[in-house]
Amino acid sequence: MQRTILLVEDNAGDVRLTREALREADVAVDLVAVSDGEQALSYLRAHGEHAGAARPDLILLDLNLPKKNGLEVLEEIRRDTELRRVPVIMLTTSSSARDISACYDRGVNCYVVKPLDLDDFTALVQAINRFWFEVARLPPR
């Protein structure tokens, strides 16, 4: 079954790196990328230009986003009965204990600090894919 990942990331370079890491891993994943928190919620609710969008199996969410930040998006996802079961991984550059605690307090499934090294980033994306799509059992869409 084709899996869908929603990547909420405002850095175009990180979007490219994520796509390349998944391509290198040769996995059947449809990666949908949006660049701000409002677009993420529009996609998740299949509104506007995202009407008919497939519900993702996994969300990779950056903490520092324009319009609505990652914490605001996470809060809205967890309050929405249609979305709250979708696993959310906060994938960010912040290693602040305050940010980590704030994300877990709001129901994030996992908090991961983006590595700076390209090979480490590739290995991280591949590990996320393996764990969430080969090891973990996800709820039905």
Q: What is the pLDDT of residues 1-14, one digit of tens each?
A: 688 999 999 999 88
CA distances for 8 relative to 34, 48, 73, angstroms: 5, 17, 10
Structure tokens at 84: 């709250």
Q: End-to-end CA distance of the chain, in Å? A: 12
pLDDT of residue 70: 96
Count of Cβ atoms closer than 10 Å to residue 62 Cβ: 24
pTM: 0.93
For the ranges 31-45, 47-61, 99-113, the lowest mean pLDDT is seen at: 47-61
